[in-house]
Amino acid sequence: MLVVLNARLCTLWALLAALLFVGAPPVRAAAAVKRDFSEGQIDNGEALSQLSTEALQSSQQLHKRLVARGANSGCTVDKIRIRREWRTLPKSERRAFIAAVKCLQSSPSLLDPAVVPASKTLWDDFVAIHLFQTGNIHLTATFLTWHRYFTWTYEQKLRDVCGYKGTFPYWEWGLDVHNPAGSPVFDGSDTSLSGNGAYSPHEGLWITQAFSGNVLKLQPGTGSGCVTSGPFKDLKVRLGTVVMPQYGNPNWTGSANPLGEGNERCLKRDLNAWVASAFTSFRNTTELILENNNVEMFQAIMQADDRYVVGQLGVHGGGHYTIGGDPGADPFISPGDPGFYLHHAQIDRVFWIWQMLDFQHRQGVWGTSTLQNMPPSPNVTVEDTVDISPLNGPVKIKDLMNTVGGSPFCYVYFKESLDMKTSTSFALLGLIAGTAVAKTDLAGCTRTQMGNTYVYYVPDTGEICSLLDCGGGRAPPKTTVPGCAAYEGTATVTPSFLPGFGAAASTSTPSSGASTGPASTTSGVGQASTTPTATGGSSASTSSGEDKTQVTSTGISSNPPGKTVIITGTKETTAGTSGGSSGASGSKTQGSSGSSSSSTAGAAAVTAAAKGAAGLVAGAVAYLAL
Ligand SMILES: *[C@@H]1O[C@H](CO)[C@@H](O)[C@H](O)[C@H]1NC(C)=O
Ligand SMILES: *[C@@H]1O[C@H](CO)[C@@H](O)[C@H](O)[C@H]1NC(C)=O
Ligand SMILES: *[C@@H]1O[C@H](CO)[C@@H](O)[C@H](O)[C@H]1NC(C)=O
């Protein structure tokens, strides 16, 4: 039953994606859209939401152009996946995702146990590959595309090996800066990625910046001990530590043999609202996107490269140190915390938004293949490859620039929904149930038939309208819902929109109090019931120049109960890397630039760290590069 339901949800998203990329008519170019956001809109996330909507529209246009040129056979409309914010996934889907992650954590390793004895599972392999390449994928030309490919490969493994069929989630940091421990991602519930570490009094982390020598002293978080709640409280951390910063001490520590057996330990966290508020607010993300017009500066500010800015974490380090703990605070092994992938999906989303605001000029790279160019290495070009074997094969950087290019990517991002009342979990089940969806078109929304179901959308903008729950299926047709075929009253219907689709889609800030101030256009939760105005431009708050009504969904909001069956696919038989030492192994498994000099450098970085040798590179990594 539930499997069927999940399949239906899956079908639904495929339908929506297809509609999004087929039914949507052209929209004006992103460049023409006003960017004069108010301070309030920047602080409460509305600005970022609008940028996200622009990015989605640009992505549609890009996809259409590729299809028109016959250049996109690998990413046809039925294949486009939509990534969404964790808390907008139905709880059943969050549980299915968690179950798939647990499946990875018990799937066999692809690495040679003689080379990486610590890597017992496929989950551990991801940590190991990141560990090997750390010095070549942070503060390099490859940072953005490498992590895009790595995160996407993780998604593929969840699907191919562990049968996950749902949405790949991201974590919108801005929603949680005041209380990350209360985040649906980290609240310790069975639909979270586990909670905080047990609290014990401690000083904050001290992080030494290599290039500048600056020591950044963070305020302590509210945990630091072993994680005690949620699905991953019994997770075994096996690799590392490699370069672990310490509380109240500028020197990092590392295991004598990070790849060896015997390092097994609990997952620790130190959730940190101070770090989150200072480095990952909506303002921080929005300014990163709007104020950096070339990839050199965008990647530098995102990672707070201390060749450019001193004493910062950037949104990248900010997200990592919001989680903190072990392995979360150690940049070599941070993928050992399940939060890593949601954080990096958001990093990728920010990159995607930034790219899509001017895609023509944002497909290049800047820099070399060594961390802060230490040791010096040749410039990387988009013709170079990244390689995360044996997790996934080598691919040219230029093929990692376009998420709807189909070689290999085929996905886009929905913006986060701040209005939890318009639950995504859904009026749409009504659509999938299919039968008695209103026969009348909703005001402003036009019906299109996809398969044997109807999807409603606004022709001008391509926005997807919420579906009415008109009963049907096993339920009797409803006579009291305006717009439904069987409606007996006289009220007219006002269209509402799926989260992420209305031009004025819910952007009120939940409970944080950040919505006051200069933004007179922000009306808090009441925005959910504003009156429609057909045309507009009444304020600078909507990117499309129109105000659309946002009404609370009348749809079904119950989540399907129960559990999801995970199908374990065929096992991979790829041989692991071979090599006599950890250094050689590092050399074999990395190759971010395709040049031998960088391979040597990467191996050297790993070897140095493994031996506990202090060094500029390692110090820089400890601070800047997770
Ligand atoms: C950090 O390491 C340096 C060099 O080994 C040492 O002199 C110093 O005492 C250490 N600091 C602390 C707080 O342990
Ligand atoms: C991040 O945003 C907060 C406000 O949300 C601000 O106080 C802080 O200075 C910003 N940090 C940076 C590095 O701009
Ligand atoms: C490497 O890139 C930098 C920055 O664009 C440029 O100044 C430099 O000349 C390049 N070096 C080579 C050898 O092409």
Q: Which atom of ligand 2 is nearest to the CA of 280?
A: 1
Residue whose structure tokens are 């994606």: 17
Structure tokens at 583: 């250094």
Instruction: State the Cα–Cα distance between residues 426 and 558, nearest whole angstrom.
Output: 8
Q: Give the CA distances from residue 170 to residues 292, 343, 423, in Å, rounded to whole numbers and listed in that order.
A: 23, 6, 17
| 115 shares its domain with 191 | yes
Q: Give the CA distances from residue 275 to residues 39, 77, 185, 200, in Å, rounded to whole numbers and listed in that order.
A: 21, 40, 17, 18
| 409 shares its domain with 536 | no
| 308 shares its domain with 378 | yes
Q: Which atom of ligand 1 is nearest to the CA of 251?
A: 1
Question: Comparing 587 with 148, which gets the higher pLDDT?
Answer: 148
Domain of residue 561 covers 532-575
Closest residue to atom 5 of ligand 1, CA basis: 251
| 100 shares its domain with 132 | yes
Q: Which residues line ligand 2 (CB under 6 A)?
A: 278, 281, 283-284, 312
Put simply, whether the predicted model's pTM sits higher than 0.85 gets the answer: no
pLDDT above 70 as % of the chain: 62
Closest residue to atom 13 of ligand 1, CA basis: 249
pLDDT digits (tens, 9 = 90+) for 216-234: 999 999 999 999 999 999 9
| Residue type (1 letter), 360 | Q
Whether 546 is covered by a domain: the verdict is yes
Whether 40 is covered by a domain: the verdict is no
Helix axes 596-610, 582-589, angle to 10 degrees: 140
| 404 shares its domain with 542 | no
| 155 shares its domain with 283 | yes
Q: Give the CA distances from residue 196 to residues 238, 346, 381, in Å, rounded to whole numbers and listed in that order.
A: 19, 20, 41
Above 60 in pLDDT, residue 618?
Answer: no
Whether 431 is covered by a domain: the verdict is no
Above 70 in pLDDT, residue 299?
Answer: yes
Above 80 in pLDDT, residue 280?
Answer: yes
| 559 shares its domain with 410 | no
Q: What is the pLDDT of residue 276?
A: 98
Above 60 in pLDDT, residue 501?
Answer: no
Instruction: Tell me the mean pLDDT in the region 197-207.
Output: 98
Whether 448 is covered by a domain: the verdict is no
Q: What is the pLDDT of residue 541?
A: 28
Instruction: State the Cα–Cα distance between residues 609 and 81, nearest whole angstrom.
Output: 38
Whether 45 is covered by a domain: the verdict is no
Closest ligand by atom to 251 CA: 1
**Rounded mean pLDDT of the chain?**
73
Q: What is the pLDDT of residue 78?
A: 86
| 239 shares its domain with 318 | yes
Closest residue to atom 8 of ligand 2, CA basis: 278
pLDDT digits (tens, 9 = 90+) for 463-495: 455 555 555 544 566 677 665 556 677 665 555
| 170 shares its domain with 191 | yes
Above 70 in pLDDT, residue 435?
Answer: no
Closest CA to 174 of 512, 499, 505, 500: 512
Instruction: State the Cα–Cα distance between residues 372 and 140, nearest whole angstrom.
Output: 6
| 612 shares its domain with 541 | no
Backbone angles phi, psi at 471, to 5 degrees: 75, -155
Question: Comparing 590 with 293, which gets the higher pLDDT?
Answer: 293
Are the CB atoms for 97 and 105 separated by under 8 Å?
no
Whether 37 is covered by a domain: the verdict is no
Closest ligand by atom to 177 CA: 2
73 band by pLDDT with thresholds 50, 70 and 90? confident
CATH number for position 376: 1.10.1280.10
Structure tokens at 575: 């041989």
Q: Which residues line ligand 1 (CB under 6 A)?
A: 249, 251
Above 60 in pLDDT, residue 425?
Answer: no
Q: Which atom of ligand 1 is nearest to the CA of 249?
A: 13
Closest ligand by atom to 380 CA: 3
Q: Which atom of ligand 2 is nearest to the CA of 43?
A: 5
Q: Where are the alpha helices (DSSP H) in 69-165?
A: 91-104, 122-137, 143-160
pLDDT digits (tens, 9 = 90+) for 149-193: 999 999 999 999 999 999 999 999 999 999 999 999 999 999 999
- Biggest alpha carbon–alpha carbon distance for the chain: 79
Closest residue to atom 3 of ligand 1, CA basis: 251
Beta carbons within 10 angstroms of residue 179's beta carbon: 17
Instruction: Tell me the mean pLDDT in the region 348-369.
Output: 98
Whether 494 is covered by a domain: the verdict is no
Instruction: State the Cα–Cα distance between residues 589 and 594, nearest whole angstrom.
Output: 11
Closest residue to atom 8 of ligand 1, CA basis: 251
Q: Domain total for the chain? A: 2
Closest residue to atom 10 of ligand 1, CA basis: 251
| 554 shares its domain with 612 | no
Question: Comparing 495 with 57, which gets the higher pLDDT?
Answer: 57
Whether 95 is covered by a domain: the verdict is yes
